[in-house]
Structure 1
Amino acid sequence: MIEFRPLNNLSIHLDRLIKGRLWLKVIIGLILGAGVGILLNQSTGLVPEDISLRLADWLDLPGQIFMRLTQMIMIPLIFTSIIMGIVSNTSENLKSFGLRLLLYFVFTTTVAIIIGLIVTLILKPGQYIFSLGGFPNSRENQIPINNQTNIIENIPNTISNLIPNNPLESILTGEMLGVVIFTIIIGVAITQLRQETAKPIIRFSEAIQKICMIIVSWAMMLVPYAVFGLIAALLSRTGIEIFLGLGYYMVVVILGLIILMIFYLILVLTITKKSPFKFLRVIKEPQLLAFSTASSAAVMPLSMKTADEKLGISSNISDFVIPVGATINMDGTALFQCVTTLFMAQAYGIELSIMNLLLITFTVVAASIGTPAIPGGGVIILASVLQSAGIPIDGLIVIIGIDRILGMFRTAVNVTGDLTACLIFNKFYGAISNKQNTYLSSRSE
Structure 2
Amino acid sequence: MIEFRPLNNLSVHLDRLIKGRLWLKVIIGLVLGAGAGVLLNPSTGLLSEEISLRLADWLDLPGQIFMRLVQMIMIPLIFTSILTGIVSNTSENLKSFGLRLLLYFVFTTAIAILIGLAVTLILKPGQYIFSLGGFPNSSESQNLPVEQTSLIENIPNAISNLIPNNPLESILTGEMLGVVIFTILIGVAITQLQEETARPIIRFSEAIQKICMIVVSWAMMLVPYAVFGLIAALLSRTGVEIFLGLGYYMGVVILGLFLLMVFYLVLVLTIIKKSPFKFLQAIREPQLLAFSTASSAAVMPLSMKTADEKLGVSSNISDFVIPVGATINMDGTALFQCVTTLFMAQAYGIELSIINLLLITFTVVAASIGTPAIPGGGVIILASVLQSAGIPIDGLIVIIGIDRILGMFRTSVNVTGDLTACLIFNRFYGDRSNTETFPNKT
Taking structure 1 as the reference length, what is the TM-score of the superposition? 0.92
| Counterparts of 1:24 and 1:434, CA distance in 2 | 30
Query: 1:310 maps to which residue?
Result: 310
Query: 1:74 maps to which residue?
Result: 74
| Counterparts of 1:108 and 1:233, CA distance in 2 | 34
**How do 1:53-64 residues align onto structure 2 when only pairs under 5 Å count?**
53-64=53-64
Q: Which amino acid aligns with 2:231?
A: I
Q: Is the partner of 2:122 in helix, strand or coil?
A: helix
Question: What's the Cα RMSD here?
Answer: 1.7
| Counterparts of 1:310 and 1:188, CA distance in 2 | 29
Q: Which amino acid aligns with 1:352?
A: L
Per the alignment, do residues 34 and 146 of structure 1 end up closer, same or farther by CA in structure 2, a change over 3 Å counting?
A: same
Residue 207 of structure 1, CA deviation: 1.2
Residue 434 of structure 1, CA deviation: 7.0
| Counterparts of 1:405 and 1:137, CA distance in 2 | 25
Is residue 281 from structure 1 mapped to residue 281 from structure 2 by the alignment? Answer: yes
Q: Which amino acid aligns with 1:147?
A: V
Residue 118 of structure 1, CA deviation: 0.2
Q: Which amino acid aligns with 2:156?
A: P
Query: 2:10 maps to which residue?
Result: none
Residue 129 of structure 1, CA deviation: 1.0
Superimposed CA distance per residue, residues 180-216 of structure 1 (whole angstroms, 9 cap, x where no aligned partner): 0000000000011111111111111111111111110
Q: Is the 8 A contact 2:82 2:319 kept in 1?
A: yes
Residue 156 of structure 1, CA deviation: 1.8
| Counterparts of 1:161 and 1:302, CA distance in 2 | 31
Q: Is the partner of 1:87 in helix, strand or coil?
A: helix
Query: Higher relative contact order at CA 8 Å, sep ≥6: structure 1 or structure 2?
Result: 1
Q: Is the partner of 1:152 in helix, strand or coil?
A: helix
Residue 137 of structure 1, CA deviation: 2.9
Query: 1:235 maps to which residue?
Result: 235
Per the alignment, do residues 432 and 358 of structure 1 end up closer, same or farther by CA in structure 2, a change over 3 Å counting?
A: same
Q: Is the partner of 2:321 in helix, strand or coil?
A: helix
Q: Which amino acid aligns with 1:105?
A: F
| Counterparts of 2:294 and 2:62, CA distance in 1 | 15
Query: 2:380 maps to which residue?
Result: 380
**How do 1:10-409 residues align onto structure 2 when only pairs under 5 Å count?**
20-132=20-132, 135-139=135-139, 141-142=140-141, 144-150=143-149, 151-409=151-409
| Counterparts of 1:176 and 1:420, CA distance in 2 | 22
Residue 158 of structure 1, CA deviation: 1.4
Per the alignment, do residues 22 and 132 of structure 1 end up closer, same or farther by CA in structure 2, a change over 3 Å counting?
A: closer
| Counterparts of 2:351 and 2:154, CA distance in 1 | 25
Superimposed CA distance per residue, residues 21-56 of structure 1 (whole angstroms, 9 cap, x where no aligned partner): 010000000000000000001111111111111100
Query: 1:438 maps to which residue?
Result: none
Q: Is the 8 A contact 1:316 1:433 kept in 2?
A: no
| Counterparts of 2:402 and 2:218, CA distance in 1 | 30
Residue 338 of structure 1, CA deviation: 0.3
Q: Is the 8 A contact 2:132 2:245 kept in 1?
A: no
Residue 388 of structure 1, CA deviation: 0.5
Q: Which amino acid aligns with 2:320?
A: F
Q: Is the 8 A contact 1:338 1:360 kept in 2?
A: yes
Per the alignment, do residues 264 and 44 of structure 1 end up closer, same or farther by CA in structure 2, a change over 3 Å counting?
A: same
Query: 2:440 maps to which residue?
Result: none
Count the aligned residue pairs.
Answer: 419
Residue 368 of structure 1, CA deviation: 0.4
| Counterparts of 1:66 and 1:133, CA distance in 2 | 38
| Counterparts of 1:18 and 1:316, CA distance in 2 | 32
Judge which range, 124-133 or 302-311, deviates more: 124-133
Q: Is the 8 A contact 1:143 1:387 kept in 2?
A: no
Superimposed CA distance per residue, residues 290-314 of structure 1 (whole angstroms, 9 cap, x where no aligned partner): 0000001000000000000000000
Q: Which amino acid aligns with 1:327?
A: T
| Counterparts of 2:291 and 2:243, CA distance in 1 | 18
| Counterparts of 1:71 and 1:134, CA distance in 2 | 35
Per the alignment, do residues 334 and 433 of structure 1 end up closer, same or farther by CA in structure 2, a change over 3 Å counting?
A: farther
Q: Which amino acid aligns with 2:99?
A: L
Q: Is the 8 A contact 1:134 1:347 kept in 2?
A: no
| Counterparts of 2:83 and 2:162, CA distance in 1 | 19
Q: Is the partner of 2:129 in helix, strand or coil?
A: helix
Query: 1:9 maps to which residue?
Result: none
| Counterparts of 1:198 and 1:283, CA distance in 2 | 35
Judge which range, 181-190 or 147-156, deviates more: 147-156
| Counterparts of 1:192 and 1:391, CA distance in 2 | 48
Per the alignment, do residues 236 and 412 of structure 1 end up closer, same or farther by CA in structure 2, a change over 3 Å counting?
A: same
Per the alignment, do residues 132 and 222 of structure 1 end up closer, same or farther by CA in structure 2, a change over 3 Å counting?
A: closer
Residue 154 of structure 1, CA deviation: 2.2
Taking structure 2 as the reference length, what is the TM-score of the superposition? 0.92
Residue 153 of structure 1, CA deviation: 2.6
| Counterparts of 2:375 and 2:36, CA distance in 1 | 22
| Counterparts of 2:195 and 2:355, CA distance in 1 | 53
Query: 2:11 maps to which residue?
Result: none
Structure 1 unpaired stretches of 5+: 1-15, 436-445
| Counterparts of 1:410 and 1:261, CA distance in 2 | 10
Q: Is the 8 A contact 1:59 1:232 kept in 2?
A: yes
Q: Is the partner of 2:431 in helix, strand or coil?
A: helix
| Counterparts of 1:426 and 1:206, CA distance in 2 | 21
| Counterparts of 1:316 and 1:18, CA distance in 2 | 32
Q: Is the partner of 2:192 in helix, strand or coil?
A: coil
Residue 155 of structure 1, CA deviation: 2.1
Residue 18 of structure 1, CA deviation: 10
Residue 142 of structure 1, CA deviation: 3.8
